[in-house]
């Protein structure tokens, strides 16, 4: 039976932005089944995890970009042994800072972004792609790629995703998940500070962490070949892919 890897995109990131990573994975491991699944298009934030659990096949590896990685962590914890392993791509333990997790976006900046999205979603989405690409070797090209692959979202769905980013704290989930875990961070990430990588290792030394020093939050699209190599190397440690 072929091993299966599920890829989840991030907030306001179209599934097509993960296609270069999927192609890079299949080029190196053609016998691996790699599927890109969109995030739920629901306006009730609390229903997103249940919808993913109902839709995604069990006995798979789960990988997610930013919010997708945070939801993958929650789903892995829920499924336990029915999840082969967990991979976070530029996914923080908490997207916004907390008293006991300061290595994140400040609450003030997040609140301002949230309000801007409510007032002018289209302009905010364009600004978001620029933030995702900020720090990349070719930020303009990466931002354009993100804009081309971006799927217009309903304002209520965008709002629900931001509410999840505001409240999610996945530390209990990853601490409770017994399977292998890999977290890839970017050194020039404008949305998830690279200091979150050291903070994660200090808090939970058993997980694997890698930082791509000269990369942006758009890491999976910016550096698909290197990300694919890191993912497959990690998967092979626990199983033959």
Q: Which of 60, 66, 91, 94 is catalytic?
A: 66
Q: Which of 60, 91, 97, 189 is catalytic?
A: 189
Active site residue 31: no
Q: Which of 60, 94, 216, 217 is catalytic?
A: 217
Select from 68, 15, 10, 22 the least CA-distant residue to 232: 22
Active site residue 66: yes
Annotated catalytic sites, by residue? 66, 189, 217
């Amino acid at each position: 039976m072929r091993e299966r890897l599920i890829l989840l995109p991030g907030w306001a990131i179209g599934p097509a932005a993960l296609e270069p990573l999927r192609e890079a994975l299949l080029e190196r491991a053609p016998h691996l089944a790699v599927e890109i699944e969109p995030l739920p298009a629901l306006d009730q934030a609390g229903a997103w995890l249940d919808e993913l659990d109902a839709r995604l096949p069990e006995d798979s590896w789960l990988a997610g970009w930013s919010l997708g990685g945070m939801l993958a962590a929650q789903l892995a914890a829920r499924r336990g042994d029915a999840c082969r392993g967990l991979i976070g791509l530029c996914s923080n333990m908490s997207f916004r800072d907390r008293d006991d997790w300061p290595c994140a976006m400040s609450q003030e900046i997040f609140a301002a972004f949230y309000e801007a999205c409510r007032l002018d979603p289209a302009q905010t989405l364009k600004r978001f792609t620029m933030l995702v690409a900020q720090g990349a070797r070719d930020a303009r090209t990466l931002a354009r790629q993100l804009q081309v692959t971006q799927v217009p979202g309903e304002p209520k769905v965008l709002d629900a995703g931001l509410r999840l980013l505001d409240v999610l704290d996945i530390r209990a989930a990853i601490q409770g998940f017994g399977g292998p875990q890999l977290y890839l961070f970017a050194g020039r990430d404008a949305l998830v500070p690279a200091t979150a990588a050291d903070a994660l290792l200090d808090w939970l030394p058993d997980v694997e962490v890698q930082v791509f020093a000269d990369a942006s939050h758009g890491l999976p699209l910016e550096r698909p070949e290197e990300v694919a190599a890191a993912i497959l190397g990690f998967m092979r440690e626990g199983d033959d892919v």
